[in-house]
A and B are shown apart, each in its own frame.
Chain A
């Protein structure tokens, strides 16, 4: 079945720096991709949902890139600030009627002032 590998598991940057988190997946038929943010002690909040038809998606302060050829999904936080400190999870939607989400193991991002 689908496997999702997320790197790095931990990332520490200074305020104003960029931070890049990458996920690779195995199922070439995967169609929906997600980034979730989990602040300490909180639940998972949807950051962005990406369709396979769009390679570049921009949010507020971040960009999501999808490379279908390499089966790679990345989250690039531009000019990180302390409020971005959280755990980030990618998730890939498997094919079929159930459309289960397969999650990466997560990246803990710390942004130091």
Chain B
């Protein structure tokens, strides 16, 4: 079973705060993704990467940066958090030759 680990599981910050969400996968997957999940919007793709040092823009990238430091690690950065970024964030990974996404447990972020 593919393993995707997110940290922290819960985070509270204030408007204008600096937040980093972490994701690690030990599946040797090359693709990694950051999604946000909001009621009424489903899952929306923020950023994704197909390897260390690579970054691709998703569908809702505004206000987010991401960095893929290694094959295993993908970080989502909110440098000036806003209340609109209060959401449930999921990281996912997949092998390049496969289409199945494996999801982490999620990080619930509240921006006050």
> CB distance A100 to B90 under 8 Å?
no
Query: Which chain A residues lie closer than 8 Å to B42 at the CB level?
Result: 6, 89, 103-106
Query: Which chain A residues lie closer than 8 Å to B41 at the CB level?
Result: 105
Q: Using CB atoms, name the residue of chain A closest to B40.
A: A105
Is B45 among interface residues, defined by CB-CB distance under 8 A? yes
> CB distance B99 to A99 under 8 Å?
yes
Is B84 among interface residues, defined by CB-CB distance under 8 A? no
23 sampled A-B residue pairs with Cβ under 8 A: A32-B99, A34-B99, A34-B100, A34-B101, A36-B103, A43-B90, A43-B106, A44-B90, A44-B103, A45-B103, A46-B100, A46-B101, A46-B102, A89-B43, A91-B101, A93-B99, A98-B56, A100-B48, A100-B58, A103-B42, A103-B43, A104-B42, A105-B41
> CB distance B101 to A101 under 8 Å?
yes
Is A49 among interface residues, defined by CB-CB distance under 8 A? yes
Mark out the residues of chain B between 70 and 92 whose CB falls within 8 Å of any chain A CB in the assembled complex. 90
A25 to B104, CA, bound (A): 26
Given A44-B43, A44-B101, 12 further pairs, Cβ under 8 A = A43-B103, A43-B104, A44-B90, A44-B103, A45-B103, A46-B102, A49-B99, A89-B42, A100-B45, A100-B58, A105-B41, A105-B42
Is B111 among interface residues, defined by CB-CB distance under 8 A? no
Those 3 A-B pairs whose CB atoms lie nearest each other, nearest first:
A105-B42, A32-B99, A103-B43
Chain A positions near chain B (C-beta within 8 angstroms): 6, 32, 34, 36, 42-46, 49, 89, 91, 93, 98-101, 103-106
A-B contact count (CB 8 A): 42
Category for how many chain B residues contact A? 10 to 19
- Measured CB to CB, the closest approach of chain A to B91, in angstroms, equals 10
Is B52 among interface residues, defined by CB-CB distance under 8 A? no
Mark out the residues of chain B between 17 and 42 whose CB falls within 8 Å of any chain A CB in the assembled complex. 40-42
Is B55 among interface residues, defined by CB-CB distance under 8 A? no
